Amino acid sequence: MRVTADRETGGDIVWAPTWLEEVDSTQLELKRRWAQRPDLAPGTVFAARRQTAGRGRHGRAWISGVNRNLCFSLLWPLAPDGPPAAAATLAAALAVDDLLQARGIPSRPKWPNDVLVGERKICGILAEILPGEPAALALGIGLNVNLEAEALTAIGRPATSMREETGQVYDLPPLLEEALRALTPWLSRWARLGFAGLRVAWELRSQSLGQPIGIHQGADLVRGRVAGYGPAGELLLETAPGRVQAIWSGEIVEPGAGAVNRTVAGGVHESMAGP
Ligand code: BTN
């Protein structure tokens, strides 16, 4: 499958997806292959119809029954003089947001690695650096596609799926191709420009400035207001008037009634009530 990025980014990558009927985790599979063959081609993709030990962030399990989720991990090259890897998950979240919006699902990216519909998670992203000369990025994406209400409830955290949102059942291989097409320009932009290439879209679609949030930092919950995003995509949290803390990772809990910026078709910018 060849996907050429748009003229603006000038990027070009040949995606080579391999579908596995069952694997423990596509992320582990990619890492195993990388360890065996560090010259694995950029654009290598492992996708699975079922993962038996899918992994999320913070050591969580990622549940995925047969043909229920789009689960894949891709290999993206890291240039030695390239931008910090932190914002790669933001690029991927924007791409998945595009895919869902194009299908009429009112999604939004959530810093740093989720896509939500309302307050329900529909996609999670895991980024890991694979050491080497040059190093590479393993980007694992789990999109809830055909999960039914009962399975969503079993997750134990607010979650939704494309099926739940649209009533349709989806075939996974064409959806993977669509996801890779959506990912190419965003990842190319990030690789070329870093977070600067994502900033406008990110600020428009994600947590709005001034929104009160709390962020889990290990066992601690740090509270404040979103003051913006730093040059590498780190979240700037105003914890007290005039005191801004850069947050590089963690999980946002959104306690307040903040307005959430949103784009709709035609590029119109509107505001909708938060939780
Ligand atoms: C998260 O939200 O915690 C990240 C979830 C990432 C899940 C995907 S599914 C494909 C790839 N393989 C894994 O084991 N994990 C990632």
CATH 3.30.930.10, the chain: domain bounds: 2-202
| pLDDT by residue, tens only, the chain of 275 residues | 555 544 444 457 899 999 999 999 999 999 999 999 988 999 999 999 999 999 998 888 887 878 899 999 999 999 989 999 999 999 999 999 999 999 999 999 999 999 999 999 999 999 999 999 889 999 999 999 999 999 899 888 899 999 999 999 999 999 999 999 999 999 999 999 999 999 999 999 997 788 899 998 878 889 999 999 999 999 999 999 999 999 998 888 865 533 333 322 222 222 222 22
Q: Which of 52, 63, 138, 141 is nearest to 100 (CA)?
A: 141
CA atoms within 13 A on the CB side of 104: 6
Task: Specify the CATH number of the domain 207-272.
Answer: 2.30.30.100
Task: Specify the CATH number of the domain 2-202.
Answer: 3.30.930.10
The rounded distance, in Å, linking the Cα atoms of 71 and 97 is 16
Block residue for tokens 């869902």: 100
- pTM for the structure as a whole: 0.89
* CA 89 to ligand 1 centroid distance, Å: 12
* CA 127 to ligand 1 centroid distance, Å: 9
- What pLDDT score was predicted for residue 1? 59
* CA 70 to ligand 1 centroid distance, Å: 10
* CA 48 to ligand 1 centroid distance, Å: 12
CATH 2.30.30.100, the chain: domain bounds: 207-272
Which residue puts its alpha carbon closest to atom 7 of ligand 1? 142
Q: What is the number of the ligand 1 atom nearest to the C-alpha of 113?
A: 2
Q: Give the Cα-Cα-Cα angle 91, 55, 113 (nearest 5 degrees).
A: 25
214-246 exposure pattern, b = at least 16 Cβ within 10 A, e = fewer:
bbeeeeeeeebbbbebbebbbbbbbeeeeeebe
User: What is the CB < 6 Å shell around ligand 1?
Assistant: 25-27, 51, 54-57, 60, 62, 71-73, 114, 124-126, 140-142
> Which DSSP symbol is given to 58?
G
Block residue for tokens 């965003």: 186
Q: What is the number of the ligand 1 atom nearest to the C-alpha of 69?
A: 9
**Alpha helices, DSSP H, located in the chain:** 26-36, 88-102, 149-154, 162-166, 172-193, 199-205
* CA 54 to ligand 1 centroid distance, Å: 6
Which residue puts its alpha carbon closest to atom 15 of ligand 1? 55
The rounded distance, in Å, linking the Cα atoms of 72 and 4 is 20
Q: What are phi and psi of 98, to 5 degrees?
A: -60, -50
Sheet containing 243-247: order of strands: 243-247, 235-240, 220-229, 212-217, 251-253
Using CA atoms, how far residue 189 sits from 15, 82, 147, in Å, is 17, 11, 32
